[in-house]
Amino acid sequence: MPTDPAERPAESNDESVWGEPGASPDPALVAAVTIDHIRDASERIDGVATRTPALRAPLLDTPLASRVTLKCENLQPIGAFKIRGAANAMRRLDTAQRERGVITYSSGNHAQGIAYAARELQIPAVIVMPANAPRVKLDATRRLLEGAPKGSEVVEYDPSNTVREQLGRTLAAERGLHLIPPYDHPDVIAGQGTATLELFDDAGPFDTLFVCCGGGGLLAGAATVAKALAPACRVIGVEPACADDATRSFESGRLCTVNNPPTIADGTRTAFLGRYTFPIVRERVDAMMTVTEQEIASATLFCFESLRLAAEPSGALGIAGAIKAASRGEPLGNRVGIIISGGNIDLDRLPKIRAIASGPGE
């Protein structure tokens, strides 16, 4: 197992005050995640996360006027990339932390990542989830925790009157658990970056890379890899138009927030970029863009019906962004990479998604 790079700055422990609108990113935290950290994470997660395929997508070549390759994180054991950051963070715990256990908060995919790693590594895990999370994600998380040590459980909360970060910190203090946040932690970001490291190893380099953005963990990791291995590659983050906190934060240089946005891309309902992800995204990402609910729904159906890939709306954001950028005449270069971040979708949602795709634009 790799040693920890000595140059990583000390982690900030002032998480309680982060999230105030207007906060400025700390440039010093950009160095918290480097290509070396991501390479180390790649070795560390071996045996827990899967090296997913990089698949050619000829059906997208013509509309994008480029050679398109998809990184299919929907084919992870939990159906999403989140297993990478969870495995990296949990494998870095010391013996005492492993014995006490971990806690996290998540709308679903990070929850499953922690639950899967908890089962594989036999570490107790408590997972705080919103009561309105997709049933497929709630049920899958509970099933995984059945194989984890005693004390592992899902704690549901009402997102309309409870702040998950506060609840997570309270339970962590009461039970002596180690908190692993869903995106805003150097180990989590480094783990998520391994998806792009594999994509570049298998099919790179790329002229343009499209990555979805919720809290920014996947995007921060992807941009770190791209700028280290192919500095000219344009990294574009994509988020829903009704959950555009990252885009506005990126453009203004000040933290913007959106609470409980009404988007079908439930994996991107994070209220704001993190203390670590904000400066990394602002430093290493080239552009942010938004897509409408109709564009997200159309991209989701395209994945199912044309690509024969199960993608949840959050997972289809990169495709939605690429199609929109190409339709506006933006030059994407000869080689385009797109990360499909996940495929955990309740199939009974497909009629609603189809209706949104067929409806008027926003």
Say what percent of the chain tops pLDDT 90: 84
Task: Kindly state the helix (H) or strand (E) to which residue 29 belongs, with its residue range.
Answer: none
Q: Is 208 helix (H, G, I), strand (E, B) or coil?
A: strand
| Contact present, 214 and 268 (Cβ < 8 Å) | yes
> Sorting pLDDT into bands at 50, 70 and 90, what band is 2?
very low
Give the strand order in the sheet containing 234-240. 54-56, 67-72, 335-340, 208-212, 234-240, 287-291
Say yes or no to pLDDT of 1 above 80.
no
Please list the active-site residues.
82, 341
Indicate the DSSP class of residue 286. -
pLDDT at 275 over 70: yes
Reported as a pLDDT band with limits 50, 70 and 90, residue 134 is confident
Span 75-99, average pLDDT: 96
Are 168 and 258 in contact by the 8 Å Cβ rule? The answer is: no
Query: Residue type for 358, please?
Result: S
C-alpha–C-alpha distance, residues 343 and 320, integer Å: 15
Neighbours of 26 (CB within 10 A): 14
Q: What is the pLDDT of residue 17?
A: 65
- CA atoms of 211 and 228, how far apart (whole Å): 17
pLDDT of amino acid 145: 97
Q: Phi, psi at residue 356, to the nearest 5°?
A: -65, -40
Residue 66 DSSP code: S
CA distance 129 to 150: 19
In this predicted structure, the answer to whether residue 113 has a pLDDT above a threshold of 90 is yes
Sorted by where each starts, the structural domains of the chain and their CATH numbers stand as: 24-81+185-358 (3.40.50.1100), 82-179 (3.40.50.1100)
Q: Which residue has the higher pLDDT, 248 or 266?
A: 248
* Contact indicator for 140, 110 with CB cutoff of 8 Å: no
Please tell me the distance from the alpha carbon of residue 112 to that of residue 119, in angstroms, as a whole number. 10
| DSSP state, residue 10 | P
Rg of the Cα atoms in the chain? 19
CB 315 within 8 A of CB 340: yes
For residue 263, pLDDT over 60 is answered with yes
* pLDDT, averaged across the chain: 93
Mean pLDDT lowest among 64-68, 231-235, 344-348: 344-348
How much is the pLDDT for 316? 98
d(CA 323, CA 155): 39
